[in-house]
Amino acid sequence: MIRDRGRIKWVSMMLPEHINLLRDWVKEDQYEEQKEMDEQQLEVMNATLSEAIEFDQFVTITHYRNRNYEIVIGKIHYWDEMVLKLHIVDHFEEVHRIPIAAIADIRITDM
């Protein structure tokens, strides 16, 4: 019977630079591309955003950050028109500043 050591056998022949490059390659492989929004989606998101601000409702916002999509759940505290960012306060009283251009989806959440 052949006792193969699998990955251990190959790692010993690789330089540390090669191992780092392979790890970076695996990270880059998991990156997501930012999707373009059409006008209908923007109109629906604008209506949802206006309703959430007016009635002080919780929202779930999906936004693009650091080459991946992230989800934030909270209330819209403030909309900064100068820098075009939403200030959202989550359940832990942490403030998230999300650029309008990075938002992929806004939904009203029942809490």
| pLDDT tens digit sequence for 41-63 | 999 999 999 999 999 999 999 99
**For range 84-111, the mean pLDDT:** 93
Q: Catalogue all structural domains in the chain, each as residue range(s) with its CATH number.
A: 51-109 (2.30.30.520)
Residue owning tokens 């916002």 = 61
- pLDDT for the residue numbered 12: 65
pLDDT at residue 7 tops 80: no
Please state, in angstroms and rounded to a whole number, the distance separating the CA atoms of residues 66 and 57.
Answer: 27
Classify strands 58-65 and 103-109 as parallel, antiparallel or unpaired: antiparallel
- pLDDT for the residue numbered 105: 95
